[in-house]
Structure 1
Amino acid sequence: MADDSNMNATPESGPDLTFERVFASPSIDGPSPRQAKLSPDGRYLTLLRNRDDDRERYDLWAFDRESGAWRLLVDSEKLGSGRELSEDEKMQRERARIGSLKGIVSYEWTADGQGILVPLDGDLYLAGLDGTATRLTDTEESELNPALSSKSGYVSFVRDRQLWVGQVGEDAQPITPKEADTIRWGEAEFVAQEEMGRLTGYWWNPDDSRIAVQRTDESPVGIVTRAAIGATGTKVYDQRYPVAGSANAIVELFVMDPDGGNRVKVDLTSSQDPELYDAADPNDFYLARVDWAPDGRLFVQRQNREQTVLDLIEVDPATGESSVLYVESAASPDYWINLSDNYKFLKDGSFLWWSELDGYGHLYRSFQGLRYRAGDTADPALVGTYLPIIPTTRQLTTGAWVVTKLVGVDQQAGRVFFTATTEQDPLEQHVYSTALDGSGKPTRLTEPGFTHSASMDKGAKTLLITRSSHDQPAQSYLADADGKRLAWVEQNALGADHPYAPYLASHRPAQFGTIKAADGMTDLHYKIVTPAMAPGKKYPVFYHHYSGPGPQIVTRGWDGALQQAVVDKGYIWFELDNRGSANRGVAFEQPLYRAMGSVEVDDQRAGAEFLKTLPYVDGDKIALYGWSYGGYMTLKQLQADPGLYAAGISGAPVTKWELYDTHYTERYMGDPNTVPEAYQAASALPDAAKMTDPLLLIHGMADDNVVFENSSALIAQLQEANVPFEMMLYPGYTHRVSGENISPHLWNTIFRFLESHGVTPPE
């Protein structure tokens, strides 16, 4: 349970934090640098820093570690053309969750450390350390997925669905053919970008001599006619969107020279096990990851359609022939494979691998791949399944905690660096190191009281660590390999000149605790932030939730000023991570298997019932708010428990899982053609008329992720059943409804809705 000692307090002086100020510039959270990188020689630290007068515009800055001086390398406003981005680039940015950002959103150092490739306003520039910049392209089309080759001899990008390559400083030429509009070269398909965390579709080998290139045929994918309704008109897009149970794009992989010559097709199908893949449609698989090892070997990770098997395939780049090196099955029969970027191919031919085989995500080091079919002597539940067994595999980490990121590997010193939760407290993440040979125990390199993220230079000699707590916005610093701080990158101290300083007096501390899940056994973590309360009075609750697989909502990190603005209005902020959320292990996530919209409802109900036991909570004024999966869950909770909640806000909800994409939906729910009953039970449409509590429905009318049809289907159901509800639609906005003016409008709308239904603080 929570420590209630700080719940009651006398209100402090100071201005209330408004939604207008929360989303205005400069950012009230302080600077928020992105894409911090060390130069190849380690001298310079570069990062993208947002402006004081425009929190969403980023420029490129460099810190000289020898002189200790910062300087602006590329001013995005002075250098940029202001040209509007292509629709393809806008959609790619949506997939990368950076759709609201302006200016420079990515960059790449040259191998010799003398220049930086900078994409800006759809074109490419080569910036020098002296502040000069050479324009490499000048076209109306956007140069998508720009990259330098491994040795920086070439620059490459995708334009007009072809891969273009040219020597740095010279004109690029297309090296793949121009085909039908449904054929794309060098681009990741929609589900790879949206659900698999793979944003690129081509990969350079270590010596610049060969490129692996994806060819995508979208012709089998169904078309969703998306009406992007804007303020001054409507644009209609025929979007190739693979809904659950339908055909995916056909993905092929080719290896070619930098000029497109010596092209060979990679064999991705002959090595498929017919019992694990669809023999009738061998192209029905997912190209999960593609990587070149330091010695020039090419590796592919392939998932079956059900996402219960992940193959690691070794490819001969000269012939395209392939063989399966390693097969991993899901950690339990009713589970799935969670894809990861936590792997690395080492110089000695071994590789590091992240797996949930023992029930928690941990690191392994493997030297040789082998698989076997479990026989009659194995556990009966496993007979006939494929199991990974590598005699020379060493498990580097173990325990009831989760490795969240492989940060770096110092192969010379034999050390592995990673971030992980702790067994004692899954709400904090720390940076650790451990021996590459598996000896000894991990060593924590960061201090308690914060949650951390980290990255490293290529040699894994220097750490770049970002940390925050509920009372401290994000700070970043450089540290040596033992975690000793060398220099602040962004101290972001809450001094008198910090944008949040005027509101510090009324900042309310978070309280953390646990309750039992609906099963009566599992601990669920919650966070509660209360306003300064008068004794004897009861307060309304703003119950923020996501509830779905993936994100961990409750952490000890800084959550931004939004929740403090809600608390300043006199509401209690509450959030709870139900079973199915991340970073608690396989058994904690597994209950969602083919049962979305069930266990989450039960666990969040337990949260509401817990709130009603607190003496300072007005149990008749608990309002639900969720976006995306959280919006879906608001609907399911209102349907399951009429009267338990005072009101619900549902933002961009999935209402029928047959309308959402294949890779995400089928991972948890299976194929709707084979388990239609699971989809029927999970739908938010059949019981729509059971919602009797006030409902506010919000959706961006150009949403290409959770398409607007989800909300229009719900609207029709409610209208036909004569069920009252309210809605706020945002013309021209996608799944991300945000901006300096739009965000305050959205949040003011939410609280006007609550006030109109009496969900208000005490007088």
Structure 2
Amino acid sequence: MTTEPLSFPRQHARTQRFSLGAPRAFTVAPDGKRVVFLRSRSGTDRASLLWVADPATGEERVAADPPALLRGAPERLSAAERARRERSREGGAGIVGYATDTAVELAAFALSGRLFAAELLDGTARELPIQGPVIDPRPSPDGRHIAYVAGGALHAVALVGGQEGPDGAGDDRAPRVWGTGTTLAEPETETVTYGLAEFIAAEEMHRYRGFWWSPDSRRLLVARADDAKVRRWWIADPAHPDREPSRVAYPSAGTPNAEVRLFVLGLDGSRVEVDWDRKRYPYLARVHWSSAGAPLLLVQARDQRGQLHLAVDPDDGSTRMVHADDSEQWLELFTGVPCWSPSGRLVRIADEGGARVLAVGDRPLTGHQVQVRAVLDVSDDDVLISASAGEGAGDPETGEVHVYRVNELGMERLSQEPGVHSAVRSGGVTVLMSSVPGEPGAQVRVLRDGKQVATVDSCAERPGFSPRVTLTEGGTRRIPCAVLLPSAYAEGDGPLPVLLDPYGGPHGQRVVAAHNAHLTSQWFADQGFAVVVADGRGTPGRSPAWEKAVRHDFTITLDDQVDALQDLAGRFPLDLSRVGIRGWSYGGYLAALAVLRRPDVFHAGVAGAPVTDWRLYDTHYTERYLGDPAATDETYTASSLVDDDGLVAPAEPHRPLMIVHGLADDNVVAAHTLRLSSALLAAGRPHEVLPLSGVTHMTPQEQVAENLLLLQVDFLKRSLGAGA
């Protein structure tokens, strides 16, 4: 019996965009003898296992297997854990995150709210008898304690026997024996948590942690968040009217944030509060504590135009300023910084002289040739960074991101193939992850002293086709673009209806030199469209000025879509009389903005989870770009689709618009779509609304994700008169 192959929408949904089965979350041991990572057993298995690979032999073994540890029982997640995964856009199951001690010999992780520890040398894992539900367990650097959060309180469980005795002697192969948990900090009220990132930190600052161990394993820096002043919103499930709505603390633009304080907590019961000017710098954006220096904080002003790097005295909680930054627009946050170099110099990423540079101490080590994006590792000899070509680098490498070694003598590129690359490094071993245009998925190579010694296999499924993509530039501003034509299109076949498929806003780069990033766009192209993806001003990877051009005006992102489209029409078979646009989140906002403000260009739009009134979006994101709504109300109105009076600046003629929204979305809440629909109805503008019951901002459900693609194609064909 033969089995019909899955359609692309079904395969795309079932494999979670072909991400299942791909190795991720790498950690390299400081002795270079172990590489730890997560990977599920197949491209359709959502449950990730913890693996250990030997760089010397390439051998891989399982260190922790969730089904075995749970003895076949289904996973059950607490509401706090579901919210944490929504913030980090984690759609997987099983072991979705882990933390290790410094030697990378012990790993801790949570399953179904239960605490587990894995011995990475011998590959054994077992549950610790701890009252949960447990969130974010992290071993101390010496491996003698595991700290974790349960019920908003911070706890720690201690090693009481096994590998080490009181004098440090013992059998290092013997199983560890753990005690019961002790409470280090307990919430004083129901609005307080210890050790967790508050909503705004996790959603917008990409700070997903709330506690950090000291290098000597005797103390922790612990964030205390109190959201008592944050306004409460209610998210109901209309499909189940018998269920109570969820009550969430959502800090919308111009309203109070959670109050965040920081404490040094000792395992001996000591407690010292860290002191800084929290009124002027309320955002705790980054925390770093290593043996190279004092605890290091990055705190930001609410308008994000000023920030301080502070060194903490953990004995009395006092702080001293190490460095200060200010900007007329805003200050961006980056992965991996700030931190200390092994020699005790401050490592940071800064916007200087029109470029985004790596600075060590007082000296910038890069210039206009690259746009630094993240610090990956810092050693005595160099700093490992990821970067894209800067505007001063000559012809840009459209969509490429590379890994570089940087020191005071210069810069060396480690990744050679065109593509998107990142890396993890320790102990002379580098794990290089590469996504390239010609190969599905990501290739993972293990390097020692720059030479490949092993690979890490992927179990991800392979799609049944490869994108037919041209990476180019469009318009006078040389906007990065990707153009995709139907696989069967031949020169001379004539112009095609056009589908713009952007994200098009801050922190969302879509034009990348990678294979899988363009699969959905190619599938739309194969339905009979010429698909255009454009990364206009506001998107990352080009220059600080490019990103910050959206200050006080999001509508210029639509101008760039139009400029790119009209320029590309002179080089590609684009029928400008039939132009559609689709997008999700910021891309959904852009799609709705396009059909409402520029119906002379766009003839149909699909807006998924769109922000329609920027006053309803969160503080840290929205105020960064549009300012305080109390002071810049006109800016909010100009960039929004609706306000209290209805539609904002709609143009004629009417164009077909489909709006899609998950009713369980706690990031862009469904009120955005409901208010837009009401305003459209009041204005006599026909439109379609597709409410998704039980769906969040991620749309992870297989049937929902599959049918969303099919319904969008049907709508676009109907609206544009496009054939297959």
Question: Could you tell me how far apart the structure 1 residues matched to 2:56 and 2:352 are?
Answer: 45
Match of 1:173 among 182, 200, 203: 182
The residue that corresponds to 2:581 in the other structure is 624
Residue pairs, 1:586-735, within 5 angstroms: 586-596=544-554, 598-614=555-571, 616-685=573-642, 686-687=647-648, 690=651, 692-735=654-697
| 2:422 matches 1:453 | yes
> Does the 8 Å CA contact 1:230/1:701 hold for their aligned counterparts?
no
Partner of 1:624, secondary structure, is strand
Question: Could you tell me how far apart the structure 2 residues matched to 1:536 and 1:131 are?
Answer: 59
Residue pairs, 1:443-592, within 5 angstroms: 443-457=412-426, 459=427, 461-480=428-447, 483-490=450-457, 499-500=461-462, 503-504=464-465, 507-516=466-475, 520=476, 522-531=477-486, 532-534=488-490, 535-558=492-515, 559=517, 561-592=519-550
User: Deviations for 1:589-620, whole angstroms, at most 9, x for unmatched residues?
Assistant: 22211112x21111111123234445622222
Partner of 1:754, secondary structure, is helix
User: Deviations for 1:471-493, whole angstroms, at most 9, x for unmatched residues?
Assistant: 2123333443653222111378x
Question: Could you tell me how far apart the structure 2 residues matched to 1:688 and 1:675 are?
Answer: 18
The residue that corresponds to 1:432 in the other structure is 404
RMSD: 2.4
Question: Could you tell me how far apart the structure 2 residues matched to 1:103 and 1:16 are?
Answer: 25
Residue pairs, 1:119-158, within 5 angstroms: 119-129=110-120, 130-137=122-129, 139=131, 141-158=132-149
TM-superposed CA distance for 1:633, in Å, is 1.0
> Does the 8 Å CA contact 1:426/1:583 hold for their aligned counterparts?
no
Question: Could you tell me how far apart the structure 2 residues matched to 1:483 and 1:462 are?
Answer: 8
Question: Could you tell me how far apart the structure 1 residues matched to 2:333 and 2:355 are?
Answer: 11
Moved more, 394-403 or 214-223: 394-403
> Does the 8 Å CA contact 2:15/2:461 hold for their aligned counterparts?
no
TM-superposed CA distance for 1:29, in Å, is 6.9
Question: Could you tell me how far apart the structure 2 residues matched to 1:53 and 1:488 are?
Answer: 18
> Does the 8 Å CA contact 2:418/2:437 hold for their aligned counterparts?
no
User: Deviations for 1:488-523, whole angstroms, at most 9, x for unmatched residues?
Assistant: 11378xxxxx9437x34xx3431121122xxx4x21
Match of 1:265 among 273, 293, 304: 273
TM-superposed CA distance for 1:25, in Å, is 4.7
> Does the 8 Å CA contact 2:307/2:325 hold for their aligned counterparts?
yes
Q: Give me the identity figure in percent.
A: 29
> Does the 8 Å CA contact 2:358/2:364 hold for their aligned counterparts?
yes
The residue that corresponds to 2:311 in the other structure is 314
The residue that corresponds to 1:299 in the other structure is 296
Question: Could you tell me how far apart the structure 1 residues matched to 2:17 and 2:602 are?
Answer: 33
The residue that corresponds to 1:110 in the other structure is 101
User: Deviations for 1:543-569, whole angstroms, at most 9, x for unmatched residues?
Assistant: 111111112211111215323322332
> Does the 8 Å CA contact 1:475/1:490 hold for their aligned counterparts?
no
The one-letter amino acid paired with 1:446 is S
The residue that corresponds to 1:6 in the other structure is none
The residue that corresponds to 2:37 in the other structure is 47
Partner of 1:35, secondary structure, is strand
The one-letter amino acid paired with 1:431 is V
User: Deviations for 1:429-456, whole angstroms, at most 9, x for unmatched residues?
Assistant: 1111122xx12x2111221322211111
> Does the 8 Å CA contact 1:29/1:560 hold for their aligned counterparts?
no
Question: Could you tell me how far apart the structure 2 residues matched to 1:107 and 1:508 are?
Answer: 34
For the structure 1 residues 499 and 316, does the alpha-carbon distance in structure 2 shift closer, same or farther, using more than 3 Å as the test? closer
| 2:396 matches 1:401 | no
The one-letter amino acid paired with 2:453 is L
The one-letter amino acid paired with 1:188 is A
> Does the 8 Å CA contact 2:583/2:607 hold for their aligned counterparts?
yes
Question: Could you tell me how far apart the structure 1 residues matched to 2:609 and 2:445 are?
Answer: 39
For the structure 1 residues 400 and 215, does the alpha-carbon distance in structure 2 shift closer, same or farther, using more than 3 Å as the test? same
Question: Could you tell me how far apart the structure 2 residues matched to 1:181 and 1:524 are?
Answer: 49
The one-letter amino acid paired with 1:533 is Y
TM-superposed CA distance for 1:187, in Å, is 1.2
TM-superposed CA distance for 1:623, in Å, is 1.3
For the structure 1 residues 633 and 455, does the alpha-carbon distance in structure 2 shift closer, same or farther, using more than 3 Å as the test? same
TM-superposed CA distance for 1:204, in Å, is 0.9
User: Deviations for 1:720-750, whole angstroms, at most 9, x for unmatched residues?
Assistant: 2221101211111111112322211111111
TM-superposed CA distance for 1:268, in Å, is 1.3
The one-letter amino acid paired with 2:472 is G
The one-letter amino acid paired with 2:482 is K
The one-letter amino acid paired with 1:266 is V
Partner of 2:442, secondary structure, is strand
TM-superposed CA distance for 1:231, in Å, is 5.7
Question: Could you tell me how far apart the structure 2 residues matched to 1:358 and 1:17 are?
Answer: 50
| 2:246 matches 1:237 | yes
Count of paired positions:
687
Moved more, 108-117 or 211-220: 108-117
User: Deviations for 1:181-224, whole angstroms, at most 9, x for unmatched residues?
Assistant: 11111111110010001011111110011111111111111111
Question: Normalization by structure 1: what TM-score?
Answer: 0.86
Gaps of 5+ in 2: 160-177
> Does the 8 Å CA contact 1:18/1:565 hold for their aligned counterparts?
yes
| 2:210 matches 1:190 | no
The one-letter amino acid paired with 1:672 is P
For the structure 1 residues 163 and 19, does the alpha-carbon distance in structure 2 shift closer, same or farther, using more than 3 Å as the test? same
Question: Could you tell me how far apart the structure 2 residues matched to 1:570 and 1:748 are?
Answer: 14
The one-letter amino acid paired with 2:696 is T
The one-letter amino acid paired with 2:9 is F
Question: Could you tell me how far apart the structure 1 residues matched to 2:5 and 2:484 are?
Answer: 18
Partner of 1:564, secondary structure, is helix
| 2:217 matches 1:208 | yes
User: Deviations for 1:124-177, whole angstroms, at most 9, x for unmatched residues?
Assistant: 1112344432211454x4211211112121111111111111204111122113
Gaps of 5+ in 1: 1-13, 273-281, 367-392, 493-497
Question: Could you tell me how far apart the structure 2 residues matched to 1:30 and 1:166 are?
Answer: 33
Question: Could you tell me how far apart the structure 1 residues matched to 2:315 and 2:584 are?
Answer: 48
> Does the 8 Å CA contact 1:313/1:323 hold for their aligned counterparts?
yes
> Does the 8 Å CA contact 1:471/1:509 hold for their aligned counterparts?
no
Partner of 1:696, secondary structure, is strand
> Does the 8 Å CA contact 1:430/1:451 hold for their aligned counterparts?
yes
TM-superposed CA distance for 1:319, in Å, is 0.8
For the structure 1 residues 171 and 296, does the alpha-carbon distance in structure 2 shift closer, same or farther, using more than 3 Å as the test? farther
Question: Could you tell me how far apart the structure 1 residues matched to 2:213 and 2:20 are?
Answer: 37
Moved more, 753-762 or 83-92: 753-762
For the structure 1 residues 756 and 189, does the alpha-carbon distance in structure 2 shift closer, same or farther, using more than 3 Å as the test? same
Question: Normalization by structure 2: what TM-score?
Answer: 0.90
The residue that corresponds to 2:172 in the other structure is none
> Does the 8 Å CA contact 1:336/1:668 hold for their aligned counterparts?
no
> Does the 8 Å CA contact 1:401/1:426 hold for their aligned counterparts?
no
